[in-house]
C-alpha cells in the first residue's frame, strides 16, 4: 500500500501589527478588512503558488488546499479557483481540495461541474474533499447552522448523482430543487474523483465517512483521540462487512524542518502565529447554536486537553500538533505517527504565519529530499 505526503498552507496574510487583533473579538469574522492591502496580497499569492510548485518538484505526492472566509489567516476564499491554478501549473501531484463547503453552497450542480472540470484539466489528479465548514463559516456565509449537516448530506448526494447518473434528471429534495440536471462536464476519474472528509472528532462524521467508504482525515487532533476515531471507523466498516485499510485514514499537522534541531526550533516559532490569534474568539463564533449535535459537542470538548491557542511551543510539539526538527528528528516523529495511527497519508502544513519564503523553501527541500523518502521505506 502506498503512502502519500501532502503539502499544505492556508495562504496567510500577516502584514499588519498583530497587536491590532486584540482590539477586536477575533481575527476571524470581525477583524476589519481595512488592514488588507491588495498589492501585498498579490505578492503573497505569487510566493505561495511558487511554493506549491516547488513542493511538487521536490517530491511531495500531493498538494492540499482549503478555503476560509473573513479572516487574514487564510486568503484562499475559493478552493476551486486555487485548484484550477494548480491543475495547470503542476503536472503530477494529486490536488487535494479539502475542501468545498457543502452546507453553504446554494448550487450543488455547479459545484459538481467545477470539480469535474478541474479533474479534466488536471488529467484526473483531483481528490475531492467535502467539508461542513467550521462553525464560524455559518456566520460568514449567512447560513443557518441548524441545517448544516442535513444540507451537507443532501448537497453531497446530489453531486454524486450528478457525476454518476446520465442526465437529464430531476431533483426534488428538502434544500435543493432542479428541473433538469444534465451537466456537459463530467470527471475524468470514474465513477468520480476520490472523496475525502475531514473531521475534528464528531462521531457522526466518522460514521458517515465509513458508510460511504471515504477517506477520513483528522485535523490537529491529539494522537489518542485520532486513534480512537480511526478505530471507530474500522469498527463501522467491519459491521458492514469490509476492512478499512490505511488508505482510508489521513492525519493533518503542522511541520517544519531545518538543517539542525537548533535552527528548526528557532525558525519554527513562526508557527505560533498560526496557533494563536486565528484560533481565538467567542465560543458562539466557533460553535453557533445548532451547529453541533450533543454527541458532536461532547466529542469536540475532548478533542484535546486544552485549546491549541493556550498551548506553549513545547506543548504543541509534545502533543504532535507541531513537528519541528532536523530531517532525522522529523523523520522519526512522522514515522511514529504513521505507524501509531495506521494511516495512508500525512497532510503537512509546512508554511505557517510569518515563516519566511527562504525558511519555507528550505523546509520543503529537506522534507522532499530526506524526510519523505524515509517515510516510504
pLDDT of residue 150: 94
CB atoms within 10 A of CB 336: 13
- How far apart (Å, rounded) are the C-alpha atoms in residues 367 and 371? 5
Number of domains comprising the chain: 1
> What pTM did the predictor assign?
0.96
Q: What angle is formed at CA 182 by the lines to CA 178 and CA 185, rounded to 5 degrees?
A: 130
Distance of CA 144 to the CA centre of its chain: 23
Tell me, what's the pLDDT at 157?
98
Closest Cα to residue 309, out of 6, 14, 27?
Answer: 27
Regions in the chain scoring below 70 on pLDDT: 1, 300-304
Note the pLDDT of residue 261.
98
HSE toward the beta carbon, residue 288, CA cutoff 13 A:
17
Rg over alpha carbons for the chain, rounded to the nearest Å, is 20
> What is the reported pLDDT for 139?
84
CA angle 60–62–68, rounded 5-degree value: 120
Q: What is the CATH number of the domain that holds 356?
A: 3.20.20.30
* Amino acid 102: pLDDT: 95
Residues 154, 173: Cα–Cα separation, whole Å: 7
Q: Are 97 and 129 in contact (CB under 8 A)?
A: yes
Question: For 276-322, how does the pLDDT look when each residue is reduced to its tens digit (9 = 90+)?
Answer: 999 898 888 888 888 877 777 777 666 667 889 999 999 999 999 99
- The confidence score (pLDDT) of residue 301 equals 66
Predicted local confidence at residue 377, as pLDDT: 72
- For the chain, count helices (H), then strands (E): 15, 11
Q: Which three cell numbers stand for residue 237?
A: 466498516
pLDDT digits (tens, 9 = 90+) for 18-62: 999 999 999 999 999 999 999 999 999 999 999 999 999 999 999
What local confidence, expressed as pLDDT, does residue 304 receive? 65
Range of the domain at 164: 4-376
Amino acid at each position: 500500500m502506498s503512502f502519500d505526503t501532502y503539502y499544505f498552507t492556508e495562504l496567510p496574510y500577516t502584514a499588519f501589527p498583530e497587536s491590532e487583533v486584540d482590539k477586536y473579538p477575533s481575527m476571524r469574522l470581525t477583524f476589519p478588512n481595512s488592514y488588507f492591502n491588495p498589492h501585498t496580497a498579490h505578492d503573497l499569492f505569487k510566493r505561495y503558488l511558487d511554493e506549491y510548485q516547488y513542493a511538487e518538484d521536490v517530491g511531495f505526492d500531493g498538494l492540499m488546499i482549503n478555503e476560509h472566509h473573513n479572516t487574514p489567516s487564510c486568503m484562499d476564499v475559493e478552493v476551486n479557483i486555487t485548484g484550477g491554478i494548480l491543475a495547470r501549473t503542476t503536472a503530477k501531484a494529486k490536488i487535494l481540495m479539502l475542501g468545498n463547503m457543502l452546507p453553504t453552497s446554494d448550487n450543488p450542480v455547479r459545484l459538481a461541474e467545477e470539480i469535474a472540470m478541474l479533474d479534466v484539466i488536471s488529467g484526473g489528479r483531483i481528490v475531492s474533499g467535502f467539508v461542513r465548514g467550521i462553525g464560524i463559516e455559518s456566520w460568514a456565509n449567512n447560513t443557518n447552522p441548524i441545517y448544516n449537516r442535513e444540507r451537507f448530506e443532501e448537497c453531497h448526494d446530489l453531486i454524486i448523482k450528478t457525476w454518476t447518473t446520465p442526465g437529464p434528471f430531476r431533483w426534488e429534495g428538502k434544500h435543493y430543487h432542479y428541473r433538469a440536471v444534465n451537466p456537459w462536464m463530467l470527471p475524468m476519474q470514474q465513477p468520480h474523483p476520490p472523496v475525502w472528509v475531514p473531521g475534528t472528532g464528531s462521531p457522526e462524521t466518522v460514521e458517515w465517512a465509513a458508510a460511504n467508504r471515504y477517506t477520513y482525515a483528522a485535523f490537529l487532533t491529539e494522537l489518542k483521540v485520532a486513534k480512537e476515531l480511526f478505530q471507530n471507523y474500522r469498527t463501522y466498516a467491519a459491521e458492514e462487512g469490509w476492512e478499512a485499510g490505511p488508505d482510508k485514514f489521513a492525519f493533518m499537522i503542522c511541520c517544519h524542518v531545518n538543517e539542525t534541531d537548533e535552527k528548526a526550533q528557532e525558525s519554527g516559532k513562526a508557527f505560533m502565529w498560526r496557533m494563536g490569534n486565528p484560533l481565538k474568539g467567542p465560543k458562539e463564533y466557533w460553535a453557533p447554536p445548532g451547529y453541533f449535535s450533543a454527541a458532536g459537542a461532547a466529542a469536540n470538548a475532548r478533542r484535546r486537553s486544552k485549546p491549541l491557542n493556550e498551548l506553549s511551543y513545547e506543548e504543541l510539539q509534545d502533543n504532535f500538533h507541531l513537528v519541528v526538527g532536523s530531517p532525522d528528528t522529523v523523520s522519526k516523529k512522522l514515522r511514529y505517527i504513521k505507524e501509531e495511527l495506521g494511516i495512508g497519508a500525512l497532510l503537512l502544513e509546512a508554511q505557517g504565519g510569518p515563516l519566511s519564503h527562504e525558511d519555507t523553501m528550505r523546509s520543503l527541500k529537506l522534507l522532499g529530499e530526506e524526510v519523505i523518502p524515509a517515510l516510504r521505506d
